[in-house]
Structure 1
Amino acid sequence: MWAIPIESSFTGSLASKMSEHFNVLREHTMSESELFYFTSSHLDDISIEEPLKASYRAKALLRILNGILLLTDNYVLAFDVENLVFMNEGERWKNRHIDRSDRDLEYKELENPFQAEESKLVKYKRIPEDDKNKRNYIVDFFDYAYKSELVKEVLILFSLSKIDTLFILINTYKIIETIEYDLGFIDKTAKTEKIGLFSEEFVKAYEFFEKGKFGHYSNSEYGSGLFSRHGVSDKKKYEDKKGNPLPPVSFNDIDTNVRTLIYEWINYKLMVEKGYRYPPVKRESKTRSLTDEDFKFELEDLI
C-alpha cells in the first residue's frame, strides 16, 4: 500500500471521514507527535518498483481533494509525493527521493487516477439517508468525482488555478464551459427552462459569468493582458461599442463566483441522485483586490 505524507491544520478531522476512494491514516511517533498519510485503494495496484507512477497518481487524487477543500476555504493539504511510503503486511519501506520525471506518464495518471476495480474498493457501512449528522460534503464530492468524469476534471482545473494566478482565467473559462455542457445549457431554450431548478447562489454566480464581461475580458489580451486565453489580436479589443476601454473584471469576484458555481453544481447533482444537498457557503466580501499571494501556496509542497 502506498501512503503519502500530508500536513494541514485540520488533517486530524479528515482521519475520521470514510470514503471508498481515499483514507487518511494517523500515526503516533515515539515523541508523541502525530503524522498523517493519504492513502487510496486506487494506488494499490502499483508495485513497489513503480514509485514514479504512484507519485503521479497520488498527486492527481490529492489535486481532486484539494479542489474540494478550496471550494469552501483557502486551506489545503500540503503534500510531498517525492517522499512516498510503501507499507506491506506491517512492514514499511521509505522510498528513495524521486529525481526524474515522465510527462507522458503524468498525463496518463492525471487523466485517469481512479483505477481500482469496483470489487476492490473499501466498502463502508452505508449511512442512512436521513442521518444528516454523519454526512460529509468532502466525502460526497470526492465520491462524485469518481462517478463523473466532468466533476473530476472541474475539481482538478480549479485546484490548478489556485496554484498560479496565470491559470485562473484559462481554467475558469474551461470550468464554465464544462458545467454548461453537463447541464445542457448549450441549448439556450433548455437553459431558460432549467435555470429555475437551481439554487439562488448558483444562478447569481452563473449570471456573473454569463451577463458580465468575463468572456470578453478573459479572451482579450487588451483586457486581461498576460492572463488572456488568447494572444494579441485586433479582433479582440476590450472596449465598449463606442470604443472606450472597459474596466477589468475583479479577480476576487471571479474567485468567489467560480467557487460558488462549482459547489452548487455538485450540490445539484447530489440532490438529483441522493435527495439531499449541503447548505450554501457564506463568503465574506474582501475590500482589497487579490494578489499573486492569494493564489499561491508552497509550490514545492503542492506540485
Structure 2
Amino acid sequence: MWAINIYSSLTLGLSTKISEHFNVFREFNQSEHEDFFFSSYHLDDIPKEEPLRASYRAKALLQMFNGILLLSGDLILDYDLHNIFFLEKGKKDSYEWSRHTIYKTNRELEYEELQNPFQPKPEHLYTYKNVPKNDKNRKNYLVDFFDYAYKDEFVKEVLTLFILSKKDILFILINTTKIVETIEYDLGITNATSAEEKSKLLSEEFRQAYKFFKDKKSKFSHFSNSEYGSGIFARHGVSDQKKYHDKEGNLLPAISFEEIDKKTRTLIYEWINYKLENDKGYRYPPVIIENLDEPMKDEDYNFDL
C-alpha cells in the first residue's frame, strides 16, 4: 500500500470521513507525534519498484481532492511529493514502512497519470475497522464529490482543470472557458433556448453563475478572448479583430478575477450537486463564498498543490 504525508488543519476531521476511494489515517512516530497519510486503492496496483509513478498518481488524486475542497472554502491539503511511503507485510505478519525519496521527473509519466489516475475497483476492497456506523453512513460532500470524479469523466476533467487554474493564474481564463463548455456539453446546452430550459432544473445559484459567463452583458467571453481586455491571460493572441471596446470605442473595464473565481466555484459545485440529486436523491446546501477584503493578487492563486 502506498501512502503520502499530508499536512493541514483538516487532517484529523478527514480521518473520520471514510470513502472507498481514499483513506486519511494517522500514525504516531517515534516522538509520539501524529503524522497523517493519504492512501487509496487506486495506488495499490503500482509495484514497490515504481515510486515515481506512485507519486504522480497520488498527486493527481490529491489535486482533485483539493479542487473539491476549494469549491467551498480556501483550505487545502498540503503534501510532500518528494517522499512517498510503501507499507507491506514483514516478518510474523507485522507491517513495515519503507520511504522512497523522489529525485527525478518524467513529464510523460506525469501526463499519463494525470489523464487517468483512477483504477478498476478491486474485487475485495479493504474494510476499515473500528469505524462507528454513523461515520460510515454519514453524508459528506467530499466523499460524494470524489466518488463522482471517479465515475464521471466530465467531473474528473472539470475538477482537474479547476485546480490547475489555481496553481497558475495564467490558466484561469483558458481553463474556466473549458470548464463552462464541458458543463454545457454534459447538460446538453447547445443554444440559448436549451440553456433556458435546462436552467429551470438547476438551482438559482447555478443560474446566476452561468449567467455571469454567458450573458452578453457580462462581457466574459469578450474579455477572456481579447488580449486588449485581459492581456497575457487572454485565450488568444493579439489581433485587430479582438478589440475590447464598447460601441463608442471606449475601453471596457476589466472583469474581476475574484468574481470569476467565485462564479466558477459555484458553477462546478451546483452542477455536481445536480448530478448527485438525480442519482442519489439528495444534495448539499449552497455554499456562500464571501467577498475577500482585498482584491485577489497573483500570489493568491499560487497554492502549493
Tell me if both proteins adopt one fold, taking TM over 0.5 as the criterion: yes
Instruction: Report matched runs for 1:192-203 at 5 Å.
Output: 192-203=196-207
Choose from 189, 195, 211 the match for 1:191. 195
Is contact 2:18–2:136 with CA below 8 Å preserved after alignment?
no
After superposition, the Cα gap between the structure-2 partners of 1:77 and 1:132, relative to the gap in structure 1 and judged at 3 Å, is closer
Choose from 158, 165, 178 the match for 2:169. 165
> 2:64 is matched with which residue?
64
Secondary structure class of the residue paired with 1:267: helix
Deviations 1:138-177 (A, max 9, x none): 0000000001000001111111111121111111111111
Matched, 1:296 2:279: no
Is contact 1:222–1:238 with CA below 8 Å preserved after alignment?
yes
Aligned-pair Cα RMSD in Å: 1.9
Matched, 1:87 2:92: no
Secondary structure class of the residue paired with 1:207: helix
> 2:132 is matched with which residue?
none
After superposition, the Cα gap between the structure-2 partners of 1:132 and 1:239, relative to the gap in structure 1 and judged at 3 Å, is farther
Instruction: Give me the TM-score of the superposition, normalised by structure 2.
Output: 0.92
**Unaligned regions of 5+ residues in structure 2, if any?**
90-94, 130-134
After superposition, the Cα gap between the structure-2 partners of 1:155 and 1:120, relative to the gap in structure 1 and judged at 3 Å, is farther
Instruction: Give me the TM-score of the superposition, normalised by structure 1.
Output: 0.93
Matched, 1:98 2:90: no
Cα separation, 1, equivalents of 2:248 and 2:128: 62
Cα separation, 2, equivalents of 1:40 and 1:224: 40
Is contact 2:154–2:182 with CA below 8 Å preserved after alignment?
yes
Is contact 2:154–2:186 with CA below 8 Å preserved after alignment?
yes
Number of residues of Structure 1 aligned to a counterpart in Structure 2: 294
> 2:269 is matched with which residue?
263
Cα separation, 1, equivalents of 2:254 and 2:146: 34
Is contact 1:44–1:116 with CA below 8 Å preserved after alignment?
no
Which contiguous aligned blocks of 4+ residues in structure 1 show a shift greater than 3 angstroms? 120-125
Is contact 1:41–1:120 with CA below 8 Å preserved after alignment?
no
Choose from 192, 213, 237 the match for 2:243. 237
For 2:76, give the aligned amino acid. V
Cα separation, 2, equivalents of 1:59 and 1:182: 26
**Unaligned regions of 5+ residues in structure 1, if any?**
126-130
Aligned-residue identity in percent: 61
After superposition, the Cα gap between the structure-2 partners of 1:235 and 1:16, relative to the gap in structure 1 and judged at 3 Å, is same
Is contact 2:17–2:136 with CA below 8 Å preserved after alignment?
no
After superposition, the Cα gap between the structure-2 partners of 1:259 and 1:132, relative to the gap in structure 1 and judged at 3 Å, is farther
